[in-house]
Structure 1
Amino acid sequence: MKFNFTIFGLLLFIQSFSQTTNNQENIKNLVETYFHYDRENIYVQFNKTVYVNNEDLAFKGYVINKNKYLPDVNTTNVQLAIYNDQKKLVQKQLLYTALGVFEGGIHLNEKFSSGKYYFHFYTNWMNNFTEDESFIQTVEIINRNEPYYAQSKEPNWKSAKIEFFPESGKIINSITNKIGVKLTDCNRKGIKIIEGKVFDSKSKLITQFKTNEMGNGSFYLTPDNNEKYTVQIKTEKLNLIENLPSTQNKGLAISYNNNLSNNILAVVVKTNNAGLTLYQNKKLVLLLHQNGNSILKEFTFDANETEKTLRFDKTNLANGVNTIRVIDEGLNEVAERLIYIETDSKPEVTLEAKTIANDSLMLSVKNNSKKSNLSISILPENNTCITNKQSIIGTMRLNAYLDQPENETYPYFDNNNKTRKQDIELAILNQNKNKYLWSNIKSNPPKITYPSTQGITIKGNIEKKLNSNSKYKISLISMKNKVFEESMIDKNNLFTFENIYVHDSTIVLLQMTNEKNIAKNDKINAKVVVRDSTFVFQPKINLLDCPAIDNTNEPFSFAKLGLDKSIINLNDVVIKGDSKKTKLIHKEKNNMAKAFKITDKDFGNFLDYLSMYGGYRTGFSGTNNSVYIKNKLSDIVRDTDASPTVYIDDQEVFDLNFLFNLSIEEVDEIYIDKMGYSNTNPTGSGTIKIYLKNGMKNDIFQSKNASFMVTHGFTKEIDFSNAPFETAKEFNYFGTLSWTPKAEITTNNSFEIKSLKANQKEIQVLLEGFSEDGELISEIRKIPVSNL
């Protein structure tokens, strides 16, 4: 039989082409499958990072859909776990998130001892993925009764170390290798040097390098694998000698030129002669991707060809960190390199300050983005409470893809940093790998086992057996949270409310009705189903063990509270003037009772006010799940005293739980008669009569329906206020001039913020946020105000 070599060659070509095509399709499918599900990234701006333990700690959070780079409108539940410097959990919060933003904070007190605390933000949905997508912010809390030593800005010289990062992970023999150098201390603080040297085994100087403020540098080396190379750094404070990693006889390295005109990126894959025998005529695929967005090109090393150049249009690449991978015919990764692509310009933000009356400033903010949601902290010029400069851009575009995130990200995106692009190049060179490993992309796609939690779930039952022929439903009402939900009661007397958005410790009303909508007053039991969302990863808290150094800084000592009466604190500024005494409206019919007229200066919870001024013990009993009001002189141990009879607008309140969320700002007058003389139907220990201000509805307080306190609900946002500082020096070092978590730029692209000037010559402004179309906004500026 005659063999047709032409047909055989054609068949081989078709088979080879089919394999290559299928390989590219397989790689593309693997990437798209791995990143199919939406992922969340979180960034949280704190008003500062060092606090005295009588201050308010405040923050604003931003959630981005990582696949779309838009505010994540589907996320509602963000968990916060707070750890101390022993990695012990000290507090948890559930934070309500809407349109990709949330707010929160803590009123600090003496329970927070001095030390570092780690605020860990995450969602239950993040547990579905192999990579840690959560966010951690470190803050320091100071006890004002103890001397405070400010952290030195000098590196810890005793712990300085050198790390090396050859491009693509290997130093390959006889080709030009770019080798990254990272010089840091035990705090991961970068160390800048102006000269480092590379020597061979004969002490011959081969090349030199320097490092920037972040401790990153690089040099080029064409090695001989028969040589050993050392790096020496010798300065006034350092004397380090470190061996370079061993030279590999063969392998692939990836280089690139990211500075060509016309938005062209040139990627060079190179090897040596030994590597050529391994890779020659092999069908390799260069994969360039961020998340599921990918570009693939197939290439081959031809005879005697040790370099291959491939070009890409950068406008087709995603903004931020991308990964370049070389994949072989067996779908194995041969080489990897990170690259930062910057296709979008940073939004322009204009900040202007002008003086207004009473030593105040008006800060005008203009932005060329579309509708934006921002948070702004304004600090005194000498404030020492910014220990690291993070940014929303650095978190979302840079750290979200790094195996070892950068401590400080703002310098990489500060337009005033003239070397920022080179700094980014060095930062991503000095990374071992992308956080998304090819082995996981290839063999371990996400399996969705953790739901995206939405609100909380409340379940309960009716104690009395209901008529099976009737259709009963139950209503859940929270006036404070504007919640009105209905649920059917099943044949087992059970009911469920899903996706309920109420604050923790809220008293909610439960009302049962039949098919004719007639209220029934049978006993109702209810509780929140606790789905404590724990994080599957251990939070990345690095408790650094640094060698002791001599602290040359003088300790800062706080003045004793109340000693310096000449200082006017920010929350003590009051407009004084003559005013007429307000007449008590309901005094005549309560002439046997002690009267309290609520003024504009009174604020807080009604029960707290009653405990402070009314002579009662108030609170919430976990034993019977209800509010109590007791005489302060009653038997606390046996708790035998009855509660006083309470009226609101002369209607008796049968369920004291309704008082739990009553704000004193809603009340006009209170009359307390501990003897009960003013009570026409005495059933308790005295009477308390509450009269609400005009316009306040009292219908809910008259209901006799069931109520219970919500546990494990959403943490309420704090009303931020400045803490008292005894001296101007204390305030200038630690205080906050203004914190604005709800700043929105709408159609006119501007807004204004009022802030105290407080005799500042310069103010520090920290601004973070995003626009509705996903533009990230970050500014840290110093603005002169002395001449205003």
Structure 2
Amino acid sequence: MKPSFSIICFRISLLFLCIFSFLTGFSQENTNVIESYATYSKLPREIAYVHLNKSIYIKGECIGFSAYILDKNTKKPSSITTNLYCTVSNKDRSIVKSQMIKVNNGYAVGTFDVNEDFTSGDYKFMAYTNWMKNFDEQNIFVESIKIIDPETDNIIKSETIENNLDAQFLPEGGHLVADIQNTIGIVVKNTEGFGVPQITGEILDNTNTAVSSFKTNDLGIGRVLLTPIIGQSYTAKIEHLGKTFNFNISDIKPRGIALSLTDLGKNVAIKLSTNTSTLSDIKNNTYKLAIHNGNEMKVIDFGFENLDVLKLIKKQDLNPGINIFTVFDKTNKPLLERLYFNHDKVNIRSVNNPKVSKDFDSLKVSFSVNQLSANTKHNMSVSVLHSDTKSYGSHQNIASYTLLQPYVNGYIENGAYYFQNIDRKKKYELDNLLITQGWSSYDWNTIFNKPPTNTFVFENGIGFQANINSKKSNQFLMFALRESKGDVFVVGDSEKSFIKTGLFPSDNEKLNIGEINSKGKMDEPNLYIQFSPSKIPEYINSYKVLKPNSIPYTVATQIQPFASSILDGTQELDEVLIEAKREETRMEQLERRAAGTLDFFDDRKRRSNRTLAQYLSRKGFVTSDYGGILTITVRNPLTPNNTTPVVYLNGSLLSDFGFLATFDMNSVDYIEINKSGVGEGMRGGAGVIKLWTDPNIQFRSQYGENYKDYEFPLTFSKAKTFYTPKYNFYKSQFFKEYGVVGWKPKVVLDTDGIARFQVFDTSNDYIKIFVEGIDNDGNFIIDEKIITVN
């Protein structure tokens, strides 16, 4: 539809009236507002988001999750955070499950077993860091999940909701002023707090005459224009399911200022209006229009010469994502506030060409991602469910929770809707939502008077202080952990303690410390160890959340027992179900997971292989360490023009072998040799060598084993293999609506730019994938796709 002549004239007049004020209006003299805001926003913020594999769980299943920690300002993965706390709590706020997981470059994965600790009911999943406790804004992740215990609830059926509506009529900017055309945001909800779709109504004056009408969208949100007149009263009338509801529109102010925002494409127009009874009193006053996003602020001075003040702002001068417009009077008192979302420079990648093929009892799934190359670092997580699932009811995705939720008061229903398949309609509906939000999560009383302090420290692993009760020497040796190097502490004669930070113990690891005596051997030390953190910190602030998205039920669903679940003693290891627990030795576990042949070292083998070159030559490689430089080649590579094998040291790919000429074989734990290069693509044509060391071997050999164990009160939980229950029936209604096909927490594109993974073939015709992720440039990856299984 072409714009009308009046709209065109309005836009031209806006450009004519506003362009000069925009170019000259940004002020740096409003020190009270600007300096207070700068102090408030000085400390860096991060946002936690968690992608859950679904929202409704049957007791006996497993909660799989991937956590994303992003810099709140740049919206890029955080490179700083290491300690993330994840909890599941019941309706009484009692924590049922908790764990600390390690974050690497903004990403972490974990699982919770839905075991005997759970009963039927609603629970909250929370994820946060200790640092996030310094801020009132909702930077933590919180989402509602539902647990169903078949022993007490063996049928899932629809709930009857009383026909009782709650409607709110919220003026844009915060004030409904007489004799001014006001935009009013409308929210209509049911007793569960969910928006009621497609509600129609009208606004009546005190003569019962309809002065305006409105209609809500599928989420119960809409807007209406109203010019209230002094002396009149107004009522909103809604008829729903045979029942009439009346809501008073009150608090009409006879004097004041109203705000209206209009999106003009490349620009945003801000209209500030007052009435004649107010203009004479405020004509000589100076006001401020502040624009911020929680990090940066700009301020425009303005005053009223006429009833309307117009400001035109280029979108390129706004922040990507949320922009908060606040109007202050001459005393720096905030009067009005409006949230606006700028879609420019917000990039959301979708999934291209999802495909599936059968391979025995598995499905091979593959897809590419729009505008994402394999060279760009990224992380993705994928939940795979049946296409008819009713169990995936999260209100958020990574974009909505990062770009929208932290900036509003209250919880956004179905925030994910606004960030999938974005078009003009969704942009309009998102703006309607923001009109209804009123004031943002940034409280100006707090900004002016209570800026945050770093009361809660930014944690980096676990640290300890070793208090020395008595000592025989001045040297103490700390053994290495799986992910932390060992250390030697030399203390002065008068020193009573030593400290260590940045340790990453996992699961049942212990801290081993010995005291080096005068003979160069270890004795048990007499120490008192204090660890920090020593427990999962409690997050006191409580945020309201909605239950998982409600999908209308047509019939009751009978819950069927699992053929096997986490409750019956079976385990799933590397996608294979085994029917009994079996204790495996460490060697067996490593060999089962290795692509090549493992060679475990003992003291005899370390003595017989003095250099790495000597060892590898015995294994068929051509080696030379002439001149202190190690070279490794193969005679008959599987790929031409590539005679150098791929070499890893403790999981890290080496680009230079130079220092391996002096590699200490006394620290070798085991070496894996994979001459076929399977798993490394083209670069593995000359084979793969993986070196694994354990510095504690050398410590024990040199100093003996007379050390002392100290138990960590809190350790990092290692990510366990996600357990998919084995179902008795895969064609049943229960499986289609609530069953799990698979969960893949770590999916990345291969060198061909394709994401690939396998799930169990349930012999159904359709599956649905839910993809979420982000790349290191801050571009989101979000999509839902139904895939036909051929």
What's 2:202 paired with?
197
Q: Distance in 2 between matches of 1:551 and 1:343?
A: 39
Q: Distance in 2 between matches of 1:213 and 1:115?
A: 27
Does residue 317 of the first structure (1) align with residue 318 of the second (2)? Answer: yes
Residues 141-194 of structure 1, C-alpha deviations (whole Å, 9 max, x = no match): 121323345464x88343421111111112110110111110011222110125
Provide the secondary structure at the position in 2 that maps to 1:441. Answer: helix
Q: Indicate how the Cα distance of structure 1 residues 273 and 258 shifts in structure 2: closer, same or farther if over 3 A, else same.
A: same
* Maintained 8 Å contact 2:206/2:234: yes
Residues 683-705 of structure 1, C-alpha deviations (whole Å, 9 max, x = no match): xxxxxxxxx99989895799343
Residues 512-556 of structure 1, C-alpha deviations (whole Å, 9 max, x = no match): 335885434455654534544534633225699xxxxx9985252
Cα offset for 1:66? 0.9
Q: Indicate how the Cα distance of structure 1 residues 722 and 89 shifts in structure 2: closer, same or farther if over 3 A, else same.
A: same
What's 1:233 paired with?
238
Describe how 1:246-257 pairs up with structure 2 within 5 A.
246-257=251-262
What's 1:451 paired with?
457
Does residue 396 of the first structure (1) align with residue 402 of the second (2)? Answer: yes
Give the alignment partner of residue 558 of structure 2, picking from 556, 559, 562.
556
Cα offset for 1:429? 0.7
Does residue 759 of the first structure (1) align with residue 759 of the second (2)? Answer: no
Q: Indicate how the Cα distance of structure 1 residues 650 and 372 shifts in structure 2: closer, same or farther if over 3 A, else same.
A: closer
5+ residue gaps, structure 2, are: 1-24, 589-600, 605-668, 673-691
What's 2:152 paired with?
146
What's 1:375 paired with?
381
Give the alignment partner of residue 713 of structure 1, picking from 712, 715, 724.
715
Please say which structure displays the higher CA radius of gyration.
Answer: 1
Q: Distance in 2 between matches of 1:39 and 1:172?
A: 37
Tell me the amino acid that sits aligned with residue 741 of structure 1. Answer: P
Cα offset for 1:204? 0.7
Cα offset for 1:109? 1.5
Q: Indicate how the Cα distance of structure 1 residues 27 and 560 shifts in structure 2: closer, same or farther if over 3 A, else same.
A: closer
Tell me the amino acid that sits aligned with residue 264 of structure 2. Answer: N
Provide the secondary structure at the position in 2 that maps to 1:736. Answer: coil
Cα offset for 1:354? 2.5
Tell me the amino acid that sits aligned with residue 185 of structure 1. Answer: N
Cα offset for 1:324? 0.8
Cα offset for 1:431? 0.8
Q: How many residues in Structure 1 have an aligned counterpart in Structure 2?
A: 649
Q: Distance in 1 between matches of 2:377 and 2:574?
A: 36
Give the alignment partner of residue 286 of structure 1, picking from 281, 285, 289.
289
Residues 382-411 of structure 1, C-alpha deviations (whole Å, 9 max, x = no match): 222112341110011111100112021111
> Which deviates more from structure 2 when the two are superposed, residues 494-503 or residues 69-78?
494-503
Tell me the amino acid that sits aligned with residue 774 of structure 1. Answer: G
Tell me the amino acid that sits aligned with residue 407 of structure 2. Answer: Y
Does residue 363 of the first structure (1) align with residue 375 of the second (2)? Answer: no
Describe how 1:153-172 pairs up with structure 2 within 5 A.
156-172=161-177
Cα offset for 1:269? 0.8
What's 1:432 paired with?
438
Q: Distance in 2 between matches of 1:212 and 1:720?
A: 39
What's 2:298 paired with?
295
What's 2:10 paired with?
none
Tell me the amino acid that sits aligned with residue 488 of structure 1. Answer: V
TM-score (norm 2): 0.75
* Maintained 8 Å contact 1:722/1:735: no
Does residue 36 of the first structure (1) align with residue 42 of the second (2)? Answer: yes
What's 1:112 paired with?
118
* Maintained 8 Å contact 2:143/2:394: no
What's 2:212 paired with?
207
* Maintained 8 Å contact 1:218/1:426: yes
Q: Distance in 1 between matches of 2:64 and 2:115?
A: 14
Cα offset for 1:264? 1.4
Tell me the amino acid that sits aligned with residue 211 of structure 1. Answer: T
Q: Distance in 2 between matches of 1:293 and 1:501?
A: 35
> Which deviates more from structure 2 when the two are superposed, residues 767-776 or residues 343-352?
343-352
Give the alignment partner of residue 736 of structure 1, picking from 718, 733, 740.
740
Q: Distance in 1 between matches of 2:99 and 2:536?
A: 11
Q: Distance in 2 between matches of 1:536 and 1:693?
A: 43
Q: Distance in 2 between matches of 1:51 and 1:137?
A: 14
* Maintained 8 Å contact 1:505/1:711: no
Q: Distance in 2 between matches of 1:437 and 1:573?
A: 49
Q: Distance in 1 between matches of 2:26 and 2:525?
A: 72
Q: Indicate how the Cα distance of structure 1 residues 516 and 340 shifts in structure 2: closer, same or farther if over 3 A, else same.
A: farther
* Maintained 8 Å contact 2:120/2:153: no
Aligned residues: CA RMSD: 3.5
Residues 561-608 of structure 1, C-alpha deviations (whole Å, 9 max, x = no match): 589xxxx99989879xxxxxxxxxxxxxxxxxxxxxxx999755669x
Tell me the amino acid that sits aligned with residue 411 of structure 1. Answer: Y
Does residue 512 of the first structure (1) align with residue 518 of the second (2)? Answer: no
What's 1:341 paired with?
342
What's 1:778 paired with?
782
Q: Indicate how the Cα distance of structure 1 residues 472 and 318 shifts in structure 2: closer, same or farther if over 3 A, else same.
A: same
What's 2:76 paired with?
70
Q: Indicate how the Cα distance of structure 1 residues 475 and 175 shifts in structure 2: closer, same or farther if over 3 A, else same.
A: same
Sequence identity percentage? 22
Residues 231-261 of structure 1, C-alpha deviations (whole Å, 9 max, x = no match): 111132542111112311011111121133x
Does residue 57 of the first structure (1) align with residue 63 of the second (2)? Answer: yes
Residues 488-520 of structure 1, C-alpha deviations (whole Å, 9 max, x = no match): 345455333222111142134323335885434
5+ residue gaps, structure 1, are: 1-18, 545-549, 576-598, 610-647, 652-691
Residues 65-94 of structure 1, C-alpha deviations (whole Å, 9 max, x = no match): 112222111111122232112222223322
Provide the secondary structure at the position in 1 that maps to 2:748. Answer: strand
Give the alignment partner of residue 420 of structure 1, picking from 383, 404, 426.
426
Describe how 1:301-700 pairs up with structure 2 within 5 A.
301-302=304-305, 305-344=306-345, 345-359=347-361, 360-369=363-372, 370-415=376-421, 419-461=425-467, 464-467=470-473, 471-478=474-481, 480-489=482-491, 491=494, 494-513=497-516, 518-522=521-525, 526=529, 528-532=531-535, 534-535=537-538, 537-541=540-544, 553-559=555-561, 699=697
Does residue 273 of the first structure (1) align with residue 279 of the second (2)? Answer: no
Q: Distance in 2 between matches of 1:371 and 1:432?
A: 38
Does residue 259 of the first structure (1) align with residue 267 of the second (2)? Answer: no
Q: Indicate how the Cα distance of structure 1 residues 80 and 334 shifts in structure 2: closer, same or farther if over 3 A, else same.
A: same
* Maintained 8 Å contact 1:87/1:541: no
Residues 347-373 of structure 1, C-alpha deviations (whole Å, 9 max, x = no match): 243141131321413222324143211
Give the alignment partner of residue 179 of structure 2, picking from 157, 174, 180.
174
Cα offset for 1:719? 1.4
